Amino acid sequence: MKNVSLDGNGSVQIPEGVTKIEAGAFEGCTELKSITIPKSVTKIGYSAFEKCTGLTSVTIPEGVTEIEARAFKGCTELKSITIPKSVTKIGSSAFAKCTGLTSITIPEGVTKIGYSAFEKCTGLTSVTIPEGVTEIGGGAFWECVGLTSITIPKSVTEIGVAAFFGCTGLTSITTIPGGVTIIEGSTFCGCTGLTSIAISEGVIVIENEAFLNCGLTNITIPKSVIMIGKRAFAACEGLTHITIPESVALIREQAFSGCSRLINVTIPKSVIVIGKNPFPGCKSLKEIYFEGDAPRLDSGAFGVNSAIVYYRKGAKGWGKTFGGLPTREIEE
């Protein structure tokens, strides 16, 4: 950056009157330890401080409205940062790999948290997301392994692909709000500490691998859901039973594969198609209850050989076996 230089202590003071810290202005400046940003600045540019590995703290003044993509990516010694209320946008990977960052408060003016904004901030233990945020970008908190809880405000309508992927320390999360219609692929994949989660009415689709390898012991699927994606709950070894609501029409392949403690499943009459091998590796599964007529089973097999299929008297399409399993009729 022109007319700016480090002093003997590794500090920089940006002169009053500068309105933008340009793209790559201090990128890779490992000697930089602290910086004073004047109130005249409104935008922090792309990769402005990327890989400033000696930077320990930054105060962003009131008046800055946008933190562009990768602005502070890889600032591994950055332990605290103050984001003012004037900020409305946090760009993609803005704070990714800031491994020393332990907490952050996102101001009320922000409406979107960018793609991978806090990816691999492994020291991050708490995040406050305010009302007003409508979108949490894909991979926003990817592998934030220190994050233990998070509150998703009711204003959120979109949670991107793999937003909380690999957050192994995450044990609690507030109800996924009703404005969210799709739980995207791998959203909570690998959240092994997450034992339960509430999903609001309004969610229509649970996408592929949304909860793959989670620590879930129970899950309530709302009556608004029409599709459960491929491997959506695969390897959720703590699940013992699950009731699929009277709204789901499609259960895709291997939806519950590897749920080794799953004992029974109830499938409603609304289900018309079940994908290939929905239950492989479900070694404890003993009972599969069907509320309606026999659905189409894509592979002709369930991927499990120890269970019994139960169907209601008067239901159509049933024989002595279904998907390679014995069937039994039950009274209404």
* 189, 162 contact by CB (below 8 A): yes
Domain spans of the chain, in order of start: 175-332
The CA-based angle 257-262-267, given to 5 degrees, is 80
- What is the share, in percent, of the chain residues with pLDDT greater than 90? 79
Separation between Cα atoms, residue 199 and residue 284, nearest integer Å:
26
Q: 181-232, pLDDT tens digit by residue?
A: 999 999 999 999 999 888 999 999 999 999 999 999 988 899 999 999 999 9
Mean pLDDT score across all residues of the chain = 92
* Residue 34 CB burial class (10 angstroms; 0-12, 13-18, ≥19): middle
Strands 149-150 and 172-173 come out as parallel
Q: 175-332 sits in which CATH class?
A: alpha beta
- The burial class, CB within 10 Å (0-12 / 13-18 / 19+), for 328 is exposed
* Residue 310: pLDDT band with limits 50, 70, 90: very high
**pLDDT at residue 53 in the model:** 96
**Whether 228 contacts 255, CB under 8 Å:** yes
How would you list the strands of the sheet with 182-183, edge to edge? Answer: 182-183, 205-206, 227-228, 250-251, 273-274, 296-297
| 70 vs 151, residue with greater confidence | 70
Percent of the chain's residues with pLDDT above 70? 97
